[in-house]
Amino acid sequence: MSFRSIPLAFVLLLLCACSTTSRYRIIAYAFNDTDIPRMGAEKLTHINYAFGLVSTDGLIVLDEKAPPRLAQLGALKTKNPQLKILLSVGGWGADHFSDAALTDASREKFATSALDVLREHRLDGIDLDWEYPGQPGPGIKYRAEDKQNFTLMLKALREKLGDAYLITIASSAGEYFEHTEMDRLHVYLDWINIMTYDFAGEWTPTTGHHSALHGDGLSAASFVRQHLDAGIPPSKIVMGVPFYGRGWTGVNPLNNGFNQPYAKAIEVSWSGMAAQSGERLWDDEAQAPYVWDAQSTTFISYDDPRSLRVKADFIRKHRLGGVMYWEHSQDPDEELLSVLAESLQR
């Protein structure tokens, strides 16, 4: 049979099949300062808009900035028709989850409000970022019953939204698993975004890697392993990476400032790392970069193109579901995003 004898529709179908994107998800969190029209939609599979909140009466609500920004995100589908837009609800310090999850009636009310918001703004799904069930946060209410109620909340969402919408959560590890039913709740989710960063910061007594892939302490690999051990399918596990560094000043100079006491903690976006002085170093065990400036006694832990390629290899090796990052405005020229796209869409 000659090529010319094949029906045109079949040829187009073959071409579409050959041009499909990678099975790996590349998920951006779009926060306050994100220049949405500039986002490289063709490099992404999903965007989580941060944040919607839970009201005192248990409804999902948006501030006045959200509707026009959600419309801008929807417009990105002209660049990438396969792009999905989700509303992320919560974030650090966001309250009222515990009350919304408390009873059958409150969960039904919450789920109904989710469906209303998704329909009104033509969104593709919802991402719950409850930090954290059953644990104290900055002024949030929490209960021991959150452990079971979180599962029931996700079940109510799935029953209300059906398969027409995506449902995801942001998760952690360690103590997080003591206050959630990760072995049970994942059946209601399309995937789980693991916050595999912030392993060190102003809350730790010494400097350290804040997003190490490997190591004896907290690491991305150990967080992933805990999720796998709970019976969560690898394809539902999405590894988080930071587009910012955690740093410390006034650091004890021993061991190039690593694992040392300090005077003050700082945060540096990826776009701000270029202005940082000091020596760029690499930790072979952690598979992570860091900067040590002996003159100013400043230590900064961050992710760079090399470490992201290593993490992309880890994702491929373990057949995970993909990668998410916090957050897009910290890499406005998309240097890090391009590395992820090249590594996971090849």
Task: Spell out the residues 6+ positions from residue 346 whose beta carbon is closer than 8 angstroms to its own.
Answer: 22
- Residue closest to 60 by CA, chosen among 15, 103, 116, 7: 116
Q: How far is CA 142 from CA 89, 155, 175, 193, 318, in A?
A: 17, 20, 14, 22, 35
Concatenated DSSP letters of 130-153 = -S-TTS--SS----TTHHHHHHHH
The packing angle between helices 220-229 and 305-317, to 10°, is: 20
Residue with tokens 């969104």: 123
Q: Cβ-count burial of 345 within 10 angstroms (0-12 exposed, 13-18 middle, 19+ buried)? A: middle
Catalytic status, residue 178? no
Sort residue 134 into left (φ over 0), alpha (ψ -120 to 50) or beta: left
Active-site annotation holder among 131, 159, 178, 334: 131
Cα separation, 257 vs 291, whole angstroms: 9
Asked whether 199 and 215 are in contact (CB, 8 A), the reply is no
Cα separation, 73 vs 86, whole angstroms: 10
Task: Spell out the residues 6+ positions from residue 32 whose beta carbon is closer than 8 angstroms to its own.
Answer: 329
Strand pairing partners for 83?
Answer: none
Asked whether 184 and 192 are in contact (CB, 8 A), the reply is no
- Residue closest to 180 by CA, chosen among 139, 126, 143: 143
Q: Is 325 helix (H, G, I), strand (E, B) or coil?
A: strand
Number of residues that make up the chain: 346
The residues that are catalytic are 131
